[in-house]
Amino acid sequence: MIGRIALGGGIAAAAVGGLGWAIARRLTAPVGPRTFDLPVRGVEHDDDGDLIVLDRTDQTTAHGIYNLWFEHDRWAQLSAEITDRGPTRVARRITGTTSGFTPKVGDRASWSGIYYATPAEAGLHAREIAIAAPAGSCPAWRIDGDPSTWAIHIHGLGSSRAGTLRGVRVATELGYTSLVVSYRNTAEGPHVGTGRVTLGRTEMRDVDEAIGCAVRRGAQRIVLFGWSMGAAIALQLADRPRHEGLIAALVLDSPVLNWREVIKSNCVRSGLPAAAGHLAIPWLTVTPLARAVGLPGSIPLRSFDWTSRAADLATPTLILHGTRDDSAPIRLSQGLRDARPDLVELETFDAGHTLCWNTDPDRWHETVTTWLNARVPR
């Protein structure tokens, strides 16, 4: 009997350990190709242009402006106009497309908040440059402005430089010089090791070199714009003693403020109990287990926990966060604001993860502009 209990306990422990390993592997997986899982059901024409008919989903009925991405880097921008086409379909008006591209019935698309594909499409005049980062050559866009005030724009996990262009327009209008950066093990950045993501631990080193690049070119103050995991990177960089007095402000959209809580939320999104997230933590934070996952070493998740490190925050911070964010819970941003009302301002939107701008681009733009004007000298 004792032997059977021990065997059963061993099997249970192995199963629990296996689930934690699988969650950690999925979380840190190398960037994969975009999934084109939304079929085009129809294309309509009227005096105002073209409409595209799609299946009715939470995404396709979401308020705001979005982009449909198709294979071969083609895209179609959609307006906020939503028209019913029966109980299972909706139509969205197309406001712009890749030159010469017209969607057709049967095409398959990917729904996205990445509204602009390139700086030119966002009305920005950019130069393609490369940052000589520790991981290798990291592509970046540079938009010139005031050489003394720079903005560095950091995208999130699984996203790309293009995702930050929504915020670059604000920085450009304020007159800042902008660097729109990439980093290791992304679709654009250099491949290092197994290609796995370290949740900001090593990626931060590449973005830190972008700060060095700005300083060598005359930057006296820097604003970090961070999206999701990019916000976690921005917070770590602002906390580095060597940047004291240099990082003037943080603008964080849908920030990751506590990886443990974010992992639990994403387990729920995937149909697992939130408690399953705890099983992944040792596989990320204990060096031998982290290496078994394919990581170069352990990840110090505690240093990324700004819900408990609120007292360490020393930089004025604006947070923009969606009330329907089921990936990075808004309660974490609310908690940081409540803990540090002297430094943190929170603006909420009826939006999902990193979709605040899409839901209300004018309010996003006005909020960020007004806040930066009040805090960053010109």
Q: What is the pLDDT of residues 187-222, one digit of tens each?
A: 999 999 999 999 999 999 999 999 999 999 999 999
CA atoms in the 13 A half-sphere facing the CB of 109? 28
Q: Judge whether residue 376 has pLDDT over 90.
A: yes
Nearest-5° angle of CA 40, CA 188, CA 124?
75
Separation between Cα atoms, residue 378 and residue 375, nearest integer Å: 10
Tell me the pTM: 0.94
Separation between Cα atoms, residue 20 and residue 67, nearest integer Å: 34
pLDDT of residue 17: 65
pLDDT of residue 377: 84
pLDDT of residue 8: 43
| Closest to 335 (Cα-Cα) out of 303, 307, 374 | 307
Q: Judge whether residue 236 has pLDDT over 70.
A: yes
Give the strands of the sheet with 344-349, arranged side by side.
127-133, 136-143, 176-181, 146-154, 221-227, 247-253, 317-322, 344-349
Q: Judge whether residue 126 has pLDDT over 60.
A: yes
Q: Which CATH class is domain 119-258+304-374?
A: alpha beta
